[in-house]
Chains A and B, each alone.
Chain A
Amino acid sequence: MITAELIADHNLSDEEYSRILEILGREPNLVELGVFSAMWSEHCSYKSSRIHLKNLPTSGPRVIQGPGENAGIVDIGDGLAVAFKMESHNHPSYIEPYQGAATGVGGILRDVFTMGARPIASLDSLRFGRLDAPRMRHLVDGVVRGIAGYGNCIGIPTVAGETTFHAGYNRNILVNVMNVGVVEKDRIFRGRAEGAGNPIIYVGSKTGRDGIHGATMASEEFVGDETRQKRPTVQVGDPFTEKLLLEACLELFRTDAVVGIQDMGAAGLTSSAFEMAGRAGSGLEIDLSKVPVREPGMTPYEILLSESQERMLLVARRDRLETVMAVFAKWDLAAVEIGRVTDSGRVVLFFDGRIVADLPAAPLSDRAPVYDRPRVPPRPLGSMGWERMPEPEDYGACLRAILASPNVAEKSWIWTQYDHMVGTNTVERPGGDAALLRIKGTRKAIAVKSDVNPFFCACDPYRGAAIAVAEAARSIAATGARPLAVTDCLNFGSPERPEIMGQFEAAVRGLSDACRALSVPVVSGNVSFYNETDGRAIPPTPTVGMVGLLEDVSRRVGVAFRAEGDVVALLGEARDELGASEYLRTVHGREEGPCPEVDLEAERRLVDLLVRLAEQGLVASAHDVSDGGLAVALAECAMKGGRGAEISLPETIRPSALLFGETTGRAVITFAAANESSIRKAAAAEQVPFRAVGNVCGSVLSVRVSGRLLVEEKVDSLAKIWRTSFESAIAAADVL
C-alpha cells in the first residue's frame, strides 16, 4: 500500500505520482515506486534543466556522439576519436571527501571506457570554501587524496584542473571531474540492449547496501546537520576492481561479443537497465536473485537502487557468451548472467521466482516530468564604487599579494599528489594553460582544459558562463591547439527557487552563445542542482571542460619565456575593468562587479590567430591573460621560464586596471624579433589588436607605465612566493 508518506519519502510530488498511476494504469508496488523515484530524480531525469539544455549547440562536423550517451565523442582524424565527459560528485564529497571524490573519478572513468575508449587523462575542477572555514582543510585534503587515491591506482593521469576558494562554497564544496579517452572510430560501443534473447551480464563488485538513493540525495539540499544521517548514501570506491573492469572491457571490445554496455552509476541497476532498454526500444527480463550481493537478506528494492561502485551491465551476443565469461574470468572478475533481452518493451524484474516489478521501459524516460520552473532574471552585480578608489602606492606589493592568494598561487601541492605522467602521453604537464597529451601512433596531440570563474558568474551568470567557454578556448589555443568541443558541469542551488532558475537559464544562454560563436558544440554534460545549505546557494558555477586538437605536436607552444631578447607582445586590449578581479578581492577585500565584458567575435578571432601563429611556428611562448590580469600573466611566463622581462605600456587606462584588470580576450606572446612583421600582419588580418611591449631579458620583471616604473621584482623572489604560498596556507592546518 503506497501512502502519501511513502510518496513524499521518495521525493515524488503528488503530480508526479498521478503520472505514475496514469502510465501504469494501477498503483505501483514499493519496488516500482523506488524505480520511478530514482529515474525521475533531478539527477537522472534533468527535469528542471531539460528545457533549457535543449538550446545548447550539440552538433558539428566532428561530432560522432552528442549528449544522451555515457560520454560525447568527437572525431580527431586518423580513424580516431576522443570520448569525454565531466560529472559532479559534490554532495558525497562534502559528507566524506575521500570516498566522495574517489568515486567521482571512478564514475567518470566508467562513463568513458564503456564507450570503448581507453581513458588517457582526467581533470579536476574543485571549489572550496575559505581555508579558515570549519572542516575546510579536511575537505581539501580529503578530496585531493581521494582523486589521487583512485586515479593513481587505476593508472589514468590527472593532468589539469583548477581550484578556487570562496566563502560561497563553505558549506557546499564542488568536485567536478572530467575524463578523456581515445577510441577507434569504428569500435565505439553504446548503452543499448539489443537483440531479443541476448544475455544480460552483470560484472564487477558485488551489490551492497551502500549508496541507496544516492541519486535522490544529489537532488536535495542539505538542511542543518543532516550530513551525518546521510552517511550511508556515500559509496566506497575500489580502484583495483575498476582497473580489472577497465582492462577486461577493453579486451572484450576487441572481440565481436559485446552488443551494448553501460556502467551502473547513479540509481545503479535501475538506471542502467531502463536506459539500455529505453535507448534500444527493447525490453528486459532480469532475475534479481542472481545479482551477486554482499550480504544476505537484501531485498529487491535494495538490489535495484544500490549505488555500489565498479559494476557494469553488459549485453552480449548469445553465441559469444563463453568468450565474455572467459575474459572476465581471466581478470578475476565475477560475471553472472542475470537475464535476457526481450522485445516486449517492458522491464520485468523477478526475485525468488516472483515478479517484483513490471514496468514499461520507454515511458520512464520519455514521460519523465519536465518542468519549466518559474524564474526571475538575475540582476547583474555592478560596481560599489571601486572606480573612486585611489591607485595603490606599491604595485609590486599588489602583485606579490595576488601571487600569494590561494586562487592564483601555484597548486603544485595538489597536482604533485596526482600521477600526471602515467601513460607517457603528457607533453604539457599541469600548471600551464591547458595540458597536452600526444596521441601515440600519430603526430597529433589533444589539449584539455577546464574553466570557469565563479566570481564572474556571481556578478553575471550569462557573461560568466560565456567567458568560461571563451577562456577555455583561449587557453587551448595558446598551446597551439584548435578547440573542438565542450562538456559542461552545471552546478547551481535549488531549481525550486526562481532566482536560481534565473541564474541557470542565463548561464545556459551564455554557454550556448559562446559555444556557437566559437564553433565548439557541447557533446556531454551533467547538471548538479541543490548545492545549497539552509537556503544559501553556491555562486552559479557552470564548469566548462574543453578538448582541442593540435595537428602536429612539434608545433606546441608553452607558457614560459624562452629566450633572452625575444619580443613580448600583447594581443587584445585592456578596458578599464577591475570588477570581480582578484586584485579587488585580495588587495582591497572588495567583492563587487561588474563582470568584465565579453566580445565573442573578438574571442573567436584571437583563437584563430593563436592557432595560426603556432601552426606557422612564429611564436616562442603564449599565455592567456586571466585571473590576476596582465601582471600575473607576465609573472607566470617569467617564473616558468626563469627569465625576466622589461615591459613598457602606455597609460591608456588607470594603471591598476592595466596591470590587474581581468579584461577578456587577451594573450601575451613572445617571439624572435625577426618574426615581428609576420605576426603583426597576421594579427591585422584577424583584426586582433597587437602591441609590442618589451623584451625578455635578465632575471627581473619590470613594468613601466608611460615611463613610470611601477613594478620591479626579481623573478626568483616572485616564484618563491607563487610556488610556496599555497602549501604554506594548507600547512597552517590544524586538522590535517
Chain B
Amino acid sequence: MSGKPLFAIVVFPGSNCDQDCHHVATELLGCRAEYVWHRDTDLKNADVVILPGGFAYGDYLRAGALARFSPVMESVARFAMDGGPVLGICNGFQVLLEAGLLPGAVRVNRGLRYVCRDVHLKVENTGTAFTRLYEPGDVVRMPIGHMEGNYTAPPETLTELEYEGRIVFRYCDAEGRITDAANPNGATAAIAGISNREGNVVGLMPHPDRCAEGVLGNDVGRRMFESAALALARR
C-alpha cells in the first residue's frame, strides 16, 4: 500500500452519479479516483471499487439486468472474491444484486412512483468495509432517489441475512423506530442496505454520495467512503 487509496468508479452507459462519487473521493477525501469504462476489465489496481447510481442501460428490461453483462463486472467479481471493498449505491446496488454479488432483488416501489427525499436509516452492522466509522444503532439521515428499491429475497435468504447480521441499514423514523410509515418503498424487513458474508461488498439504495459535505446540509454519508479509505490506510 503506497500513497493514498485509489477508488475505481465504474461507468456504465447511463451511470449518473459517477462524477458525484469521484467528487467525494477526490475533493472531499483527498484520495485518488479513476473512472473505469464498463467495457474495460482493468480495475487499475484500485483499492476500492464503487458502482455508482444512475440508470445503467436506461434501466431498460430491469434495473441492472443488462449492466451485469458488461465486461467490467467479471473483474469486479474477482476483486470482490479477493476481499476488495466494493460499494454499490442505488443503481450500483441493483447491479450487484443482478450480478449475484449480493442476494435478493428489488421490485418497483410500493407507491409505484419514483421517490426522491431524505429518509432515516438505522446502522445495524458496523463491521463492514464501509460502515466502520458509524456506531451500532446510529440513526442517520440520507437521501434516496429511486423507482425500484423495494428489496425482497426468499425467506431462507432473509433469515440468513438476519442471522448473519448482514442487514447493514434499515429504514426507520427520526427516533430510530422501524415502522411501516418510515419505509419509503415497501422493502421487506425495512432493508435499505446489505453486505456479503465477508462484509467487503456492500449495497444500499440510499445515496451516501449525496450527503457527504456540509454545503449540502448533511455530511453523514462521507463516513462510508472514509471507512473504506481508513481501513486501507491501516492495512
Binding site for B on A (CB under 8 A): 145, 148, 152-155, 238-241, 243-244, 330-332, 412, 415-424, 426-427, 438, 440, 553-554
Contact = CB atoms under 8 A, between A and B. Distances in A.
Given A422-B20, A424-B210, A553-B215, A331 B116 contact: no
Looking at chain B's contact residues, the main secondary structure is mixed
B222 to A, nearest CB: 12
B116 A417 contact: yes
Contacts of A415: 116
B114 interface: yes
B17 interface: yes
Interface of B: 13-14, 16-17, 19-20, 23, 27, 37, 53-55, 57-60, 113-117, 143, 145, 147, 207, 209-210, 212, 215-217
A153 B216 contact: no
A153 B14 CA distance: 8
Contact of A416 (B19, B58, B117): B117
The 3 A-B residue pairs with the shortest CB-CB distance, nearest first, are A240-B58, A155-B16, A153-B55
Contacts of A553: 215
Contacts of B147: 152
Given A421-B145, A427-B215, A240 B57 contact: yes
B55 A243 contact: yes
19 contacts: A152-B55, A153-B14, A153-B59, A154-B55, A155-B16, A155-B54, A238-B58, A243-B58, A412-B117, A415-B116, A416-B117, A419-B114, A421-B210, A423-B20, A424-B209, A424-B212, A427-B216, A438-B215, A440-B23
A334 B22 CA distance: 29
B115 to A, nearest CB: 6
Given A240-B60, A417-B116, 18 more contacts: A152-B145, A153-B59, A154-B55, A155-B16, A238-B58, A243-B13, A243-B14, A243-B55, A416-B115, A417-B113, A420-B116, A421-B143, A421-B145, A422-B20, A422-B145, A424-B212, A438-B215, A440-B27
A331 B215 contact: no
B207 A332 contact: no
A382 to B, nearest CB: 44
A535 B121 CA distance: 55
Which among A152, A415, A422, A553 has the highest number of chain B CB atoms within 10 Å?
Answer: A422
A330 B13 CA distance: 10
A241 B54 CA distance: 14
Nearest to B55: A153
B85 to A, nearest CB: 22
Contacts of B145: 152, 419, 421-422
Nearest to A438: B215
A424 B58 contact: no
A552 to B, nearest CB: 11
A417 B115 contact: yes
B58 A421 contact: no
B112 to A, nearest CB: 9
A155 B15 CA distance: 8
Nearest to B143: A421
A330 B23 CA distance: 24
A421 B143 CA distance: 8
A334 to B, nearest CB: 14
A241 B207 CA distance: 25
A426 B216 CA distance: 7
A422 B17 contact: yes
